[in-house]
Amino acid sequence: MSAAIVVRSMLGVSPSAYEEACGILGPENAATVIACILERAGHINSAGGYLRDLSRRAERGEFSLGPMLMAQMRGQVGEKARAG
């Protein structure tokens, strides 16, 4: 979770956006989301905006971490298959 704070600043995510995510998702899940955002940073225009959007969706019960993690894993498997 301490690494997420470093990565958060590298991605340009404001402390308030990260604190909001921690309050809604929980600190462990917010750190995991930051890691997923880092993995897809080249495809995300605004990491902070994306995190805020995910937080709002989670508040409404429209976001859960499981599908995001599964998509991340599928993406990694696909990249390995293309490389191999």
How does DSSP classify residue 40?
Answer: T
pTM for the full model?
0.86
pLDDT digits (tens, 9 = 90+) for 7-58: 999 999 999 999 999 999 999 999 999 999 999 999 999 999 999 999 999 9
pLDDT at 61: 96
Yes or no: say if 52 and 18 are a contact pair by the CB < 8 Å rule.
no
What is the rounded radius of gyration, in angstroms, for the C-alpha atoms of the chain?
Answer: 13
The full set of domain ranges for the chain reads 2-83
